[in-house]
């Protein structure tokens, strides 16, 4: 994605209080969306270019880590990376206009680093290796993200 400034990120969230990431250290070429986690760990944010308007859109997610002592394979529903140990979290997002009464959830990579995983820039690699080329994986992830964010009326 193209680089964006902290001001542009703030603008996406309007009056809502968000923890802004340090955009100077981000390698934008490797990203299909920007996702980051609040230091508290219980909140996370996504910003992306809306396929509907071509403008920046985003959402504030509640994040719940799912810690298990036993090995449990879990797949991120956006990038399809299969994690071996506690690599995912449950993210929920309120549907716009429901005043927090209606939430939808997804199991995703806990640090919202799907773009880097798709490009094999993070170790360890997925438990299940895929033969799909990168562009196809990006396309699949974006389709899934867009569908979810649209359901929450956030695109
Ligand atoms: Zn992922």
Any domain includes 146: yes
Spell out which residues have Cβ within 5 A of ligand 1, the ion.
76, 78-79, 81, 109, 114
Q: Look over the chain and give the mean of its residue pLDDT values, rounded to a whole number.
A: 94
Give me 69's structure tokens.
Answer: 């002592």
What is the Å distance from ligand 1's center to 13 Cα?
Answer: 23
What residues have CB less than 8 Å from 92, skipping those under 6 apart? 61, 62, 64, 103, 104, 105, 106
Distance between Cα 141 and ligand 1 center (Å): 8
pLDDT for 77-99, tens place per residue?
999 999 988 899 999 999 999 98
* 1 is a domain residue: no
Query: Is 61 inside a domain boundary?
Result: yes
**Range(s) of the domain holding residue 16:** 6-151
* Residue 37 placed within a domain: yes
- What residue ranges of the chain have pLDDT lower than 70? none
User: Domain for residue 92, yes or no?
Assistant: yes
Q: How many domains does the chain have?
A: 1
């Amino acid at each position: 994605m193209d680089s964006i400034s902290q001001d542009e990120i703030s603008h996406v969230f309007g009056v809502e209080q968000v923890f802004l990431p340090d955009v100077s250290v981000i390698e934008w070429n490797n990203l299909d969306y920007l996702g980051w986690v609040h230091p508290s760990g219980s909140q996370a944010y996504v910003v992306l270019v809306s396929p509907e308007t071509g403008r920046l859109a985003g959402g504030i997610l509640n994040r719940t880590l799912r810690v298990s002592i036993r090995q449990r394979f879990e797949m991120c529903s956006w990038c399809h990376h299969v994690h071996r140990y506690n690599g995912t979290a449950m993210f929920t997002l309120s549907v716009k206009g429901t005043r927090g009464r209606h939430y939808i959830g997804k199991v995703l990579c806990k640090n919202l680093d799907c773009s880097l995983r798709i490009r094999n820039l993070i170790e360890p690699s997925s438990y299940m290796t895929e033969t799909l080329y990168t562009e196809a994986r990006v396309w699949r992830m974006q389709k899934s993200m867009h569908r979810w964010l649209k359901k929450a009326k956030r695109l």
